[in-house]
Amino acid sequence: MSQATFSSTTHSGSNGAQIEVGTVGFEGRPFQAIGSVVDPSAGRIDGYISSDGRSPATWGGEIIVSVRQTGTWLQRGFGGIKNRIYAWTAVVDGVVYSGRNSGPAMRVTMRAGRGVK
**Total residue count of the chain as it appears in this document:** 117
Angle at 33 between CA 76 and CA 38, to 5 degrees: 80
Q: How far apart are CA 110 and CA 98, in angstroms?
A: 5
Q: What pLDDT does 110 receive?
A: 94
Segment 40-45 shows an average pLDDT of 91
pLDDT higher than threshold 80 for residue 93:
yes
Q: How far apart are CA 111 and CA 45, in angstroms?
A: 7
> What would the pLDDT profile of 49-69 be if each residue is shown by its tens digit?
888 888 888 877 788 888 999
Query: What is the rounded average pLDDT for all residues in the chain?
Result: 88
Q: How far apart are CA 2 and CA 58, in angstroms?
A: 25
pLDDT higher than threshold 70 for residue 29:
yes
